[in-house]
Amino acid sequence: MAPLAGYTDPPFRSLVKKFDADLTFSEMISANALVHNSKKTFEMLRKSPLETPYIVQIAGSDLDVIKKAVKILNTIDGIDGIDLNCGCPVPKVVSQCAGSSLLQDLPLLQSVLETIKKHSNKEYLSVKVRLGFNEKIPEKIALSCERAGVDFMSIHGRTRAGKYKAEVDYDAIKRAKDAVSIPVIANGDITSLQKANEVKKITGCKSIMIGRGAVGNPWIFYQLKNNLETVSKDKIKEIVLEHFDNMINFYGKKGATIFRKHLHTYSKGFPQATAFRDRVNRIEDVDKMRIVIEEFFVSP
């Protein structure tokens, strides 16, 4: 299983789900925003028929708000599980005692998970954590999560203090895995088939989670599924065009301009990428954009 976390773009999620039936999606939303009926939050919950299993990841720590958010999710069909985010290092999330802030208060973390477990009618309860807030305490965190009754957990191999720049400590993930009997999923800087296999070997985890590693590289799931070191340019073109078409279907004509940011990352490493980016930045027409994409990603 290769869970995909942190993506709120339904066309992107639908695209990568096509590559592997074992993919699980985790969609992060604010429990507080859900309770306050945020239109944007409910829009983020939209899913493709391909997105199965589908897990909603919530962020928060107020037990009453968490309870209300769970009861709202209980009324929505198609959700297979609820995941608690205890890994987000963003200051505005941490300042609300959410995300990785919960790693400073393991009794509270456990209480939040127990509240979700008690009131959820979904099949699964999971949690996404880091190794700690300032110091690494992977075993303590894992044991707290297991005691709360989670079905599985994923661990990003950095502390909150390490943000996204510190070296990922895969040995610490292994320590957490060895401390509990529930499945543990390894996460952090997994950007290739070789790295995925290496992380599984070091941590002993049977599953991995990919988040930022899929940005500009959604074909990584195709690589993992087919055990490929590289992906042909024709396959990349096919994937890029499918993502583009999904964006147009979802956003309408404005999807072409929104898609520019994806083309900026998809074109990295290709000849004439700078000129290509400059060109697409000037295009708003859907048909013209598709032609330019087809021309750029054509095999030599």
C-beta of residue 260 within 8 angstroms of C-beta of residue 282: no
- Identify the H or E element spanning 110: helix 106-119
Tokens of 198: 């290496």
88 has catalytic annotation: yes
Tell me how far the alpha carbon of residue 138 is from its chain's centroid: 21
Tokens of 209: 């989670």
Listed residue (215, 184, 182) closest to 200, CA to CA: 184
Tell me the one-letter amino acid at 111: S
Cα-only R_g, the chain: 20
Catalytic residue among 86, 88, 145, 205: 88
Dist CA 179 CA 77 (whole Å): 35
In the block, tokens 């909150």 appear at: 160
Which residues carry out catalysis? 88
